[in-house]
């Protein structure tokens, strides 16, 4: 299986940014490969050129895609049409009509969209988001693998099952060799071209193991590596960048500093943001966002979360997921975030920032309801992560209970995801960044 379409380089500018053609659609990607020239065929992921292919190999893959690429696009276009008749309140119709014609809602309008509850209005909200996704992002949908290499954690976040305070949890820590073997199995066995390596917050030896694993994987395979080991400080980030990691997945969890500090005893919001800014300064792209449905979180605060991710931190992908209570944490009795609340946030992200990076459907959303993934993809989302953690460890990576895919093999996850995307007219590819 392949989650990438090879593209042909048509130009490379002085800053090393390549323009790549996919059946005539132009996208941009940063290039670090020596000797790359116009005319060469490449795979790009997350805005990076990751591998050059010989023309014969590229043409073979392209011949598989040639027909389905345009068929899928036609199906996506059909599913992304806006409803003709106007339903719901004239005010909601006005805000969404304006959004679909290119004028994004202001803060007050955004807050009002988050409070929608009427079915017809919600449908219009979701359809507007899907229309904008189709228009500005096309029909490609990233499929990245996530490999959770350790459940050790040095923090005490009061919503998270991996918290150090959760003494009953059986912990595991994969060695550098185990991480490397699992990554290579995911790349070779299932065609992943981008992998997220995630853990609880790590320091010391586990961090050294991660650095060694990243370097070893990249010595053997061309893949985009996104790290997600928590706040590891400038030095750790620099070492991982030198080892070849190019993305950092780390949520700021909430833009409300006071709420953040209540949820994360002994930590500051400023430190969290500083880590994200340091990563950007080093050269990483970041994937960030917040948890939806936290105690004391308001619609105003969620709009600020979206703006912080998009404008404050220039996120390359939006990672917003629902809160799910974990029985062994202080928030055990706080209610789970409803699917509707989460879908409204996904739709609003796309409506506010139609041209910015992909919107992720998180595993937590799928955990609330297995069908929510498809619904998320129809209201603005265009990115999925599949769980590539060795099955014997998955249950122990207990951020919240009942995690989707905890017991599904990678093969079954891949088949289900590809089938779902095909039905929605989406190409399971990460084509990088659109040429503006
Ligand atoms: N519900 C939802 N998301 C959670 N996370 C941790 N615990 C929970 C929970 N109970 C998310 C946090 C963290 C990511 C790895 O998992 O956003 O950054």
Q: Is the pLDDT of residue 251 over 50?
A: yes
pLDDT at site 433: 45
Atom of ligand 1 nearest to the CA of 324: 1
- Report the CATH number of the 137-423 domain: 3.20.20.70
Asked if 285 contacts 246 with a C-beta cutoff of 8 angstroms, the reply is yes
pLDDT at 83 over 70: yes
What fold characterizes domain 7-78? SH3 type barrels. (2.30.30)
Task: Give mean pLDDT, residues 190-212.
Answer: 94
DSSP string spanning 107-145?
Answer: HHHHHHHHT---HHHHHHHHHHHHHHHHHHHTTB-EEEE
pLDDT of residue 431: 55
d(CA 115, CA 299): 8
3 state SS of 111: helix
Residue 405 pLDDT greater than 50, yes or no: yes
Tell which residue, 366, 434, 421, 286, has the closest CA to residue 3: 421
Question: What pLDDT digit, counting tens, does each position of 283-301 carry?
Answer: 999 999 999 999 999 999 9
- Give the number of the atom of ligand 1 that is nearest the alpha carbon of residue 362: 3
**Strand 142-150, strand 194-199: pairing:** parallel
Hey, how many other C-beta atoms are within 10 angstroms of the C-beta on 69? Answer: 18
CA separation for the pair 233, 239 (Å, rounded): 10
| Ligand 1 centroid – CA 321 distance (Å) | 8
Average pLDDT, integer, range 319-345: 97
Q: Which of 335, 364, 372, 398 to mutate to test the pocket of ligand 1 (most atoms within 8 A of CB)?
A: 364
Q: Is 435's pLDDT higher than 60?
A: no
Using the predicted structure, report yes or no on whether residue 27 has a pLDDT greater than 90: no
Q: End-to-end CA distance of the chain, in Å? A: 30
Grouping H, G, I as helix, E, B as strand and the rest as coil, residue 232 is coil
Query: Does the pLDDT value for residue 26 go beyond 80?
Result: yes
Residue 24 is predicted with a pLDDT of 87
- The domain segmentation of the chain, as residue ranges, is 7-78, 137-423
Q: Are 53 and 20 in contact (CB under 8 A)?
A: no
Q: How far is the CA of 253 from the centre of ligand 1 (A)?
A: 8
Residues in contact with ligand 1 by the CB-under-6-Å rule are 159-160, 251, 253, 291, 321, 323-324, 326, 364, 399-400
Write down the pLDDT at residue 436: 32
In angstroms, rounded to a whole number, what is the distance separating the alpha carbons of residues 89 and 158? 40
Strands 291-292 and 321-322: parallel
Q: Is residue 165 scored above 60 in pLDDT?
A: yes
Q: What confidence score (pLDDT) does residue 280 get?
A: 97
Give the C-alpha separation, 56 to 353, whole Å.
39
pLDDT on residue 70:
87
Average pLDDT over residues 20-38: 91
- Cα(404)–Cα(33) distance, integer angstroms: 37
How far, in Å, CA of 355 to CA of 361, rounded? 17
* Of 196, 228, 201, residue with least CA distance to 384: 196
């Amino acid at each position: 299986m392949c989650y990438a379409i090879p593209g042909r380089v048509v130009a490379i500018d002085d800053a090393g940014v390549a323009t790549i053609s996919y059946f005539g659609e132009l996208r941009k990607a940063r290039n670090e490969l020596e000797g790359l020239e116009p005319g060469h065929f490449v795979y790009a992921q997350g805005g990076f050129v990751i591998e050059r292919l010989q023309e014969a190999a590229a043409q073979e893959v392209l011949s598989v895609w040639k027909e389905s690429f345009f068929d899928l696009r036609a199906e996506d276009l059909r599913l992304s049409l806006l409803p003709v008749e106007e339903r719901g309140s004239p005010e909601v119709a006005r805000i969404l009509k304006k959004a679909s014609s290119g004028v994004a809602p202001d803060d007050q309008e955004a807050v009002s969209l988050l409070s929608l509850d009427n079915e017809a209005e919600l449908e219009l909200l979701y359809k507007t988001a899907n229309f904008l996704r189709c228009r500005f992002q096309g029909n490609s949908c990233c499929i990245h693998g996530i490999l959770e290499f350790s459940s050790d954690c040095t923090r005490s976040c009061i919503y998270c099952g991996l918290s150090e305070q959760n003494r009953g949890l059986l912990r595991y820590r994969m060695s550098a060799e185990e991480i490397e073997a699992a990554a290579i199995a995911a790349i070779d066995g299932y065609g992943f071209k981008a992998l997220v390596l995630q853990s609880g917050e790590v320091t010391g030896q586990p961090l050294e193991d991660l650095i060694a694993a990243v370097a070893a994987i990249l010595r053997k395979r061309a893949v985009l590596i996104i790290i997600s080991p928590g706040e590891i400080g400038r030095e750790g980030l620099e070492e991982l960048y030198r080892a070849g990691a190019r993305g950092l997945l780390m949520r700021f969890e909430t833009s409300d500093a006071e709420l953040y500090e209540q949820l994360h005893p002994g930590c500051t919001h400023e430190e969290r943001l500083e880590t994200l800014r340091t990563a950007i300064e080093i050269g990483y792209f970041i994937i960030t966002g917040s948890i939806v449905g936290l105690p004391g979180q308001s619609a105003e605060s969620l709009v600020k979360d979206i703006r912080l991710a998009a404008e404050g931190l220039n996120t390359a992908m939006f990672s917003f997921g629902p809160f799910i209570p974990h029985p062994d944490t202080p928030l055990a009795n706080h209610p789970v975030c409803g699917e509707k609340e989460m879908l409204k946030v996904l739709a609003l992200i796309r409506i506010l920032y139609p041209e910015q990076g992909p919107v992720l459907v998180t595993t937590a959303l799928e955990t609330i309801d297995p069908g929510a993934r498809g619904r998320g993809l129809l209201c603005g989302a265009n990115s999925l992560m599949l769980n590539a953690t060795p099955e014997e460890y998955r249950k122990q990576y207990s951020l919240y209970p009942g995690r989707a895919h905890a017991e599904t093999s990678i093969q079954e996850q891949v088949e289900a995801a590809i089938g779902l995307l095909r039905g929605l007219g989406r190409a399971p590819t990460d084509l990088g960044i659109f040429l503006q």
